[in-house]
Amino acid sequence: MANPCQAPLPEVTTIRIYDCRVCKGCMVTRDRDNGIAPPYVRCRVTPDCEGIAVQREGIIDQELAPEYLWIRPDAGERARVLDAVPEQTRPGMLRYLDDDLRGMLLWTLGGDWAT
């Protein structure tokens, strides 16, 4: 699989910030593909944080450097991710990744899915 971090940027880059109410840190993400990013994610700011990071509303500086990319996975990537999630969460994940919903997954700039 090619590294999606090396893919060309879309014409409109969307930078998103997710704020964690537990550790008070934030995550900066960028949309690589057109799709739907969730309004909240598991916090990844600090290794031990068990908080939920919520997408910040309002105008976001589009010049911020992202730590993660939102990527619309292809069929092979979807299968790999679905194999890694617990069985009880697969139905919801399948619906989210459906082609009509255009759900995106988080990819670390280090080069792997951040699920």
Write out the chain's pLDDT in tens, 115 residues.
556 566 555 455 689 999 999 999 999 999 888 888 889 899 999 889 999 999 999 888 989 999 999 888 888 888 888 888 888 888 888 777 776 667 788 888 766 656 5
Round to whole Å and give the CA distance between 24 and 19.
7
Round to whole Å and give the CA distance between 59 and 102.
23
pTM over 0.85: no
Round to whole Å and give the CA distance between 82 and 115.
10
- CA 43 to centroid of chain Cα atoms: 11
